[in-house]
Amino acid sequence: MTTSPHLPNCLTLLLALAISLLFQPLVRAESPAPRPFQELTPRDGLPNFFEKAKSGGEITVAYFGGSITAAPGWRVKSLEWLKERYPDATFREVNAAIGGTGSDLGAFRVRQDVIDHEPDLVFVEFAVNDGGTAPEQIQRTMEGIVRQIWNADPLTDICFVYTLAGSMLGDLQGGHFQRSASAMEAVADHYGIPTIHFGGEIAKQVTEGRLIFKGTKEQADDKGGTPVFSTDGVHPLVETGHAIYQEVLARSLTQLETSGQPGPHKQAGQEPLHPDNWENARIFPVTRSMLSGIWEEVPTGDADPFKGFRHRLGKIWSTRTPGSALEFTIEGKHARVYDIIGPGSGILSVTVGEAAPKKATRFDSHCTYRRLSNVSVATFPEFDRQGIRVELTEESPDKAKILGLEKAADIEKNPARYRSNGWHIGAILVIGEVVDYEPDEEAP
């Protein structure tokens, strides 16, 4: 019997094909096909909001996002526009934006920062800060935000808005959403949530030469020259980039006025897109019983160095003593610590159960100023019960190297700000529960 000389090649091709088919679903799950660009996708609209706005009710609008929303730009401009368009209504704003944070932290803080204010409309903006996150993870956190809002009140309207950074401009010029927005669209599809993309108009004007995406301060100050969107490629200038964002929002909201029927959102009780979404993300304030070593409860008042963070963290604990630790036990899948980082931040040692300790540096290239942040300390494949210890070490980050040549000059100008290597914390963030958790008694 003769064997065909082509048989080994055929077998190789068949094997390769089988392997490719086996892994195709995994590839699609991690890298979904980019969505063709569409400025507005109405879906089920914002009918409850518009009914109330037109009837002259009291309306609370929450703006939930990162630094682009925190800036006095499209958020402020849009509220002014709403007041002018619906003069019989009374509007109240909830600024729930925190710079440098994404939908992962958002899933933990949505209850205290958004839901507890009983909003009628929630704008959710995390497409830029979620830019480096895996699509399925974005969907889990965004879905967790949506389900928490509608579990509290299915009449609340939600709108996803997408902004852009320089790394995303090419996608939009190519006619499709950036990866993070494409991932969020799947959640919006599942729940009937309208989406508005601010970036398409920016890409169009840049392509046509009517707008400079990233320019110098001198170019931005030149009133007779081509307008500049941003000086850093991320944060729009209020007079130009944010003004365009508001124009897009205004025309989109005008189109949305007739979309959908008022009433509870029918999707509020449906099966989740991802069963392991972050619907049960919770915040637990740090208690004194969790702390060992030397800690200070930072006093409130005019001299409070963390005054600007009180509305997010409440009680704040601070240590600059190596060996001081935070200890707690979780029953869940994920745990983080909600903290404040800045020039005086140090390095932590994280121990989970019997595993070897791992280091976590709480100083990064933006630490010329203090800001809210969070550090992941434990992640498990399934719900697990584990003790966690997070300890401040004696080590000092190489702050000059981390900041880079230009920013490191601040260390020479303000050496005292960088001298300490401390840790400042407010809460534990958990998918699950903190075991035997008992909050501190409040002072009378």
What is the C-alpha separation between 214 and 232, in angstroms, rounded?
Answer: 6
Q: Please indicate, yes or no, whether residues 171 and 57 belong to a single structural domain of this protein.
A: yes
Q: Please indicate, yes or no, whether residues 158 and 249 belong to a single structural domain of this protein.
A: yes
Nearest to residue 164, comparing CAs of 108, 195, 125, 135?
Answer: 125
Give me the torsion for CA of 61, 286, 430, 279, rounded to 10°. -30
What is the C-alpha separation between 345 and 364, in angstroms, rounded?
Answer: 9
- Asked if the structure places residue 31 within a domain, the reply is no
Q: Please indicate, yes or no, whether residues 180 and 297 belong to a single structural domain of this protein.
A: no
Q: Please indicate, yes or no, whether residues 309 and 392 belong to a single structural domain of this protein.
A: yes
- Whether the pTM exceeds 0.85: the reply is yes
Q: Please indicate, yes or no, whether residues 179 and 57 belong to a single structural domain of this protein.
A: yes
Show which of 269, 289, 309 is a domain's final residue: 269
As a residue count, the chain comes to 444
CA 406 to chain centre: 27
- Asked if the structure places residue 209 within a domain, the reply is yes
Q: Tell me if residue 274 falls in helix, strand or coil.
A: coil
* pLDDT per residue as tens, the chain (444 positions): 433 444 334 333 333 334 333 333 333 345 568 899 999 999 999 999 999 999 998 999 999 999 999 999 999 999 999 999 999 999 999 999 999 999 999 999 999 999 999 999 999 999 999 999 999 999 999 999 999 999 999 999 999 999 999 999 999 999 999 999 999 999 999 999 999 999 999 999 999 999 999 999 999 999 899 999 999 999 999 999 999 999 999 999 999 999 999 999 987 778 999 999 999 999 999 999 999 999 999 998 888 889 889 989 989 999 999 999 999 999 999 999 999 999 999 999 999 999 999 999 999 999 999 999 999 999 999 999 999 999 999 999 999 999 999 999 999 999 999 999 999 999 999 999 999 999 987 643
**What is the DSSP track for 130-141?**
TTTS-HHHHHHH
Q: Which residue has the tokens 């009374």?
A: 90
CA 150 to chain centre: 19
- Asked if the structure places residue 102 within a domain, the reply is yes
> In the structure encoding, which two tokens stand for residue 267, read together?
């999707």
Nearest to residue 150, comparing CAs of 264, 39, 252, 66?
Answer: 264
What secondary structure letter does DSSP report for 266?
Answer: G
Nearest to residue 119, comparing CAs of 100, 83, 145, 93?
Answer: 93
Q: Please indicate, yes or no, whether residues 244 and 363 belong to a single structural domain of this protein.
A: no
pLDDT of residue 431: 96
- Asked if the structure places residue 15 within a domain, the reply is no
CB-based contacts of 398, cutoff 8 Å, min separation 6: none
Q: Please indicate, yes or no, whether residues 205 and 128 belong to a single structural domain of this protein.
A: yes
Q: What CATH number has the domain bearing residue 370?
A: 2.60.120.260
The tally of domains found in the chain comes to 2
What is the C-alpha separation between 77 and 326, in angstroms, rounded?
Answer: 42
Phi first, then psi: give them for residue 256, nearest 5 degrees: -75, -10
CB-based contacts of 249, cutoff 8 Å, min separation 6: 74, 78, 81, 161, 196, 198
| CB distance 163 to 122 below 8 Å | no
- Asked if the structure places residue 95 within a domain, the reply is yes
Quote the domain boundaries for residue 406. Answer: 281-434
Q: Please indicate, yes or no, whether residues 378 and 247 belong to a single structural domain of this protein.
A: no
Nearest-5° Cα angle at 268, 270 to 57: 165
pLDDT of residue 442: 64
What is the C-alpha separation between 82 and 76, in angstroms, rounded?
Answer: 10
- Asked if the structure places residue 16 within a domain, the reply is no
Q: Which residues pair with 318 in a beta bridge?
A: 296, 424
Q: Tell me if residue 3 falls in helix, strand or coil.
A: coil
| CB distance 317 to 340 below 8 Å | no
DSSP element (H, E) containing 229:
strand 228-230
- Give the pairing type, strands 228-230 and 347-352: unpaired
- Asked if the structure places residue 19 within a domain, the reply is no
Q: Please indicate, yes or no, whether residues 128 and 184 belong to a single structural domain of this protein.
A: yes
Q: What CATH number has the domain bearing residue 230?
A: 3.40.50.1110
Q: Please indicate, yes or no, whether residues 203 and 345 belong to a single structural domain of this protein.
A: no
- Asked if the structure places residue 369 within a domain, the reply is yes
Show which of 215, 237, 269 is a domain's final residue: 269
Show which of 249, 269, 289 is a domain's final residue: 269
Q: Please indicate, yes or no, whether residues 227 and 345 belong to a single structural domain of this protein.
A: no
Q: Please indicate, yes or no, whether residues 353 and 407 belong to a single structural domain of this protein.
A: yes
**What is the DSSP track for 29-69?**
HHSPPPPBP-SEE-TT--HHHHHHHHHT-EEEEEEEESHHH
> In the structure encoding, which two tokens stand for residue 315, read together?
């009680």
